[in-house]
Structures are given as structure tokens and as C-alpha cells.
Chains A and B, each alone.
Chain A
Amino acid sequence: MESRKKPHKAKEKLNNDTFWGYLFIAPTLLGLLIFYIFPLFQTFFYSFTNWGDFGNYSWSGLENYKAMLDNPKIWQSFRNTLIYAFVMVPLSIAVSILVAVLLNQKIKGLTVYRTLYFLPVVTMPAAIGMIWKWLYNSDYGIINQVLAWFSVNGPDWLTDPNWVLISIIVVGTWSVIGTNMIILLSGLQGIPKSLYEAASMDGAGVTYSFFRITLPLLSPTVFFVAVISFISAFQVFDFIFMMVSPTNPAIDNAQSVIYLFYHYAFVIGDKGLAAAISFVLFAIILVLTIIQFRLQKRWVHYD
């Protein structure tokens, strides 16, 4: 009796768990399948199609990928995005580490500083673009007006092809410092105080402690911030769209990959080319993320 009942009960419980498990994941699973997973394959398919005027498309093989290689604007947009990511991410991390270290001291007004530094994080990127477009205004913008006090003739920040990407990098950096600082600060607070005390008893200075204790022990957090920042930097769009209009003379030096993706997919309606662009971007992000994980052994300390 006993031996026959046991497996039966266990099986029933198992079925029970299966039922509840699938019931619980069903809504999100269906939503993800319909709106994310299936669309991914569809986008991949579209990247091999040619789109007509009325939303008709036909198979065109590798035409879109060839067209990408022949299109200097697309090359330029990838170049802009790579420069943006490779300058903005290290710059913003360096500034954020500095801010986080300063905020990790015993001084008054910490919460006030933290609040102020965090403001851009809760401001919509479209609004950030609008604010900075005004600050950058070449005639009446406050930046050039302040420079004029020092007799410096400020450039046309957003319409000069030589300056526009730098201007965009500044805004990008300014808007992510808050997030990075908070994550880094929580990493800093996990470093045992006794290490610093021991170091200072041995006569170590501030710089020594920073490079020998803080940085190595903070490296896992820095790694996390770097991976996340790179991924989002490659998708930069909102504030560039607000600051640099399609008629801006410096547009070619400013537009990011997503800016061009939006243009081809939803302004011109060349969804095949846009799909190809988004897949190449996906591939680049994937490869760079894998490289970052490979390289982490060289500089990230997990102990």
C-alpha cells in the first residue's frame, strides 16, 4: 500500500508544479514571444528584403548589407556611434568614480549633493536635448556668453561638423553620471574600512589607498557599469534627435546609428535597410560585450 501511494503522490505534486509554473510564466512568455522573440526573427528576415512604396517587400538577398557598405552616411553613423561610446563611457566612468569617492567621505550635505547629481537621471532625454540645445545656442546660449567674458569666441557647438560630436558626448556624459555614481557608491560602501585603516597605519597616502585598495576592490562594480554603459551608449538617440535636426549642416557628423535607423525605417520607409542596420548594430554590441567579458580577467578582481 505504502509503496504504491508514494510515487503516485509525488507524481501528482510534480504535475501540480508543472501546471502552476506554466500558468505563472504564460502571460509574460506569450507577450515576449509575440512582441520580442518573433519580431527578432522577422527583423532578421526583413534585412534580406527590398521594400516597395506600399509596404510590399520581396526577397533581395544580401542587397541591403551591400547597400550599407556603399553608403557613406551609414559608415559615418557607425563611426559617430563608436567614437561616442568609446569616449563617453570611459569619460563618464572616470568622472563618476571621482564623484562617488568624494561622496563616500564623512562630510556634511551628502544627501543634497547626491540629489543634485541625480537630477539628470530622472529628466527625460528629450527634455535634456531641448535644454542643452539652448545652452549650446551659438549666439545667445549661456555657454558662449560665458566664454565671451573670458574673450573666447565659442564655436557653433551643434552646427559645426568639427564640434557637434564633442557637444553630444558632453551631454551624454552629463546625463549618466548620476546613475553610475549611485552604483559605484554602493560598491564603495562594500569595501571594508579596516583596509584603509591598516594602510594609513602603514603610512600610505590617499593616492596609494585609491590605486591599491579602492580601484581594485571597486573593479567588479566598474566592470558592471562599463558593460551597461556601452550597451546603452550604442543606442543613443533621444537627445541627439532633439538637438540636431535633419536640416542641420552638421547632421552627418552627429547622427547615431539609431538616428539613421529611425530615418530609414519610419521616415523613408526602407524597412529592409533599417532592419539590416539594426542587425549589424546588434552584432557589434554582442561582440563588444563578449570582448569585455573576456578582458575582465585582466583587470577585475573578484575576491
Chain B
Amino acid sequence: MDRINRPRKYLIHLLLILGAVIMVGPFLWMILTSLKTVGEAAQVPPKIFPSILQWSNYVEVFESFPFAGFYWNTFITTVAKTVGQLFLCSLAAYAFARIKFPGRNFFFVLYLSVLMIPPQAFLIPQYQIIANLGLLNTLTALVLPGLFSAFGTFLLRQFFMTLPDELEEAAKIDGCNHFQIYWKIMLPLAKPGLVALAIFTIIWSWNDFLWPLIVNSSPDKMPLSAGLASLQGQYSTNYPILMAGTFLASWPLILIFMFFQKSFVEGIAMSGKKG
């Protein structure tokens, strides 16, 4: 691209900084509020910085709510869903992309149709299945329906389609079966696709709200998202406490994003191209 002249460069920075303030300001205000007393938070005109950092707000969140448990529940269900989806979706994706079997197109269209239906249309029966199995208020309830993903299968299938045939041919001549080809050749090659799916699943699982709200009403089996809703129920207007809880619920994913930024951005961009 041609060189940009100086005033134009300043204008671009000005606009981008203005935008950045709007995007990040709410987070900064959350953190500042979480360290104030209730009195400071409600001061008019506003007091930007707390005079003494009120770490006790964080202590109170942990003492009055099983926040450590919320973390564990969120973490373990996110790991289970991500690992499960990566394995199950990549198996199905390999079959759809690389194996010729009767009914393949029919089943692929069936998967695609699941992809196009808004998830609320499944919710009532899903809830009933979980209730009938006696799984309400368990971590299994949080994981179960989310293990099976038409989206994940589709994303990985598109990725497998782009890989060259030659390696596979060689392996077939060497007498490898499909599982060996899938495990030893395809999976290592599909790493960018798997990373993209892992990122989508982690974001979606960590932030999932409606499903946990429905199936797990007992606080010791709640993830962070639903825990945040019950925190609001108790401290309806105590904003320093609410902001401390909000920060506690959202920092881990933000931190993971900071570390794996490149993969996040590439994963999202890839879904755009493949779609």
C-alpha cells in the first residue's frame, strides 16, 4: 500500500483510540468499581480512583458464594466439551471428507440441517432427557448435549477436504486402516483446524448461559455464568461486589486470549473463509 501522509495517519490513530476507549472503558470501569467502597461507587460527581483499594470485595464474593466451585465447574466442563468435541467431530469429519460410504451425502445434509436450526428449538426436550436420566444439577448435564456438534464436524470436514490425497494413498498401500490414517496422518495435519474448533468450543462453553441456567439451579454445580446471575440476585445494587464477581468470572478467558491471540484471530477468520 502506498505511503500514508502524516495528517491522515494522525486522524486514523485518533479514530482508533476513540474506539479503543469505548471498547475498553467499560472493563476499566468494572475493575475500578470492584475496588471501591459502596459509598465511593455512588459518589456524584464520580470518583475515578478508590482512596483505598478494597480487596475485601473480592474476599466477600468468595465467602458468600462458592466461587471456587464455580471455577472448577466451568473449567472441567469446558475441558470435557472441548476434548470430546475435538475427538468426536474430527472422527466424523474424516469420514465425511475422506471415506466413501453409502448414505454419506444424506447424513452430511442431516448434520448441516442441525447447524441451521436455532438451538432453542431443542431446549425443552433436551431438558426433559436430562431430567429423566436424573442428571439435573450434575456436571454431566452441563457437558452432555454440547459434546455433539454439527458445527464442529462441518468446520473440520471443510478443513480435511483441503488436505492433499498423496499421504493417505501411501499409507493405504502400506496397509494402514482408516483409523490409523486418521490418527497418524490426518490429525497432525489438521492442527490449525483443530485449534480453531478448540477456540470456538472454549469460548462458547465458558460463556454458555441459558443451558446451565435451566439444568443446574444448585449453586455447587453452577458454572461462573449462572453463578453471576445468582450473585446479582443477592447483591442487586451493591455494584462493587457485583463488579468484583464479574471480573472474577471473565478474567481467565481474557488471559487465555492474550496468550493465544494469533490462534484466536486466525480461528475466527478461518470460519469466515470456510463458511
Contact = CB atoms under 8 A, between A and B. Distances in A.
Interface of A: 17-18, 20-22, 24-25, 27-29, 31-32, 34-40, 42-43, 46, 98-99, 102-103, 105-107, 109, 111, 113-127, 130-132, 134-135, 137, 139-140, 142, 145, 148-149, 174, 177-179, 182-183, 185-187, 193, 196-197, 200, 221, 224-225, 228, 231, 234-235, 237-238, 241-242, 258, 261-262, 265-266, 271, 274-275, 278-279, 281-282, 285-286, 289
B210 A262 contact: yes
A5 to B, nearest CB: 18
Nearest to A224: B275
Contact of A282 (B94, B121, B144, B269): B121
Interface string B92-121: 101110011110100100110010111111
Given A17-B100, A122-B253, A130-B228, A235 B26 contact: no
B127 interface: yes
Given A21-B104, A35-B148, A40-B122, 17 more contacts: A18-B101, A25-B96, A31-B145, A32-B114, A36-B145, A39-B129, A42-B124, A105-B1, A107-B9, A118-B261, A132-B26, A221-B272, A228-B275, A234-B118, A262-B214, A266-B213, A279-B121
Interface residues of B, number: 99
Interface of B: 1-4, 9, 12-13, 15-16, 19-20, 22-24, 26-27, 29-30, 33, 41-46, 88-89, 91-92, 94-96, 99-102, 104, 107, 110-111, 114, 116-127, 129, 144-145, 147-150, 153, 177-179, 182, 203, 206-207, 209-210, 213-214, 224-226, 228-229, 232, 239, 242-243, 245-246, 249-250, 253-254, 256-258, 261, 264-265, 268-269, 271-273, 275
25 contacts: A22-B101, A25-B96, A31-B88, A35-B144, A39-B126, A105-B12, A116-B23, A116-B24, A117-B23, A122-B257, A123-B207, A124-B224, A126-B226, A126-B249, A127-B228, A134-B239, A134-B243, A137-B239, A140-B42, A142-B46, A238-B209, A238-B210, A238-B225, A271-B124, A278-B118
Given A17-B99, A18-B102, A122-B254, A28 B265 contact: no
Given A105-B4, A123-B253, A28 B148 contact: yes
A34 B148 CA distance: 10
Given A18-B101, A135-B26, A266-B214, A127 B249 contact: yes
A137 B134 CA distance: 41
Contacts of A134: 29-30, 33, 239, 242-243
B46 A182 contact: no
Contact of B268 (A125, A183, A271): A183
Contacts of A261: 120
Contacts of B254: 119, 122-123
A235 B207 contact: no
A88 to B, nearest CB: 16
A46 B124 contact: yes
B135 to A, nearest CB: 12
Given A122-B254, A126-B209, A275 B124 contact: yes
A235 B33 CA distance: 31
Which of A24, A179, A271 counts the most chain B CB atoms within 10 A?
Answer: A24
B67 to A, nearest CB: 14
Which of B100, B123, B226 counts the most chain A CB atoms within 10 A?
Answer: B123
Given A24-B178, A36-B150, A193 B121 contact: no
A104 B182 CA distance: 38
Contact of B1 (A148, A183, A187, A193): A193
A128 B239 CA distance: 14
Contact of A258 (B120, B228, B275): B120
A36 B114 contact: yes
B272 A113 contact: no
Given A38-B125, A225-B272, A278-B121, A258 B265 contact: no
B120 A21 contact: no
Contact of B127 (A126, A185, A193, A266): A266
The 10 closest A-B pairs by CB, nearest first: A31-B148, A21-B101, A39-B125, A183-B272, A24-B95, A186-B269, A124-B207, A20-B178, A35-B145, A21-B99
A184 to B, nearest CB: 8
Contacts of B45: 145, 148-149
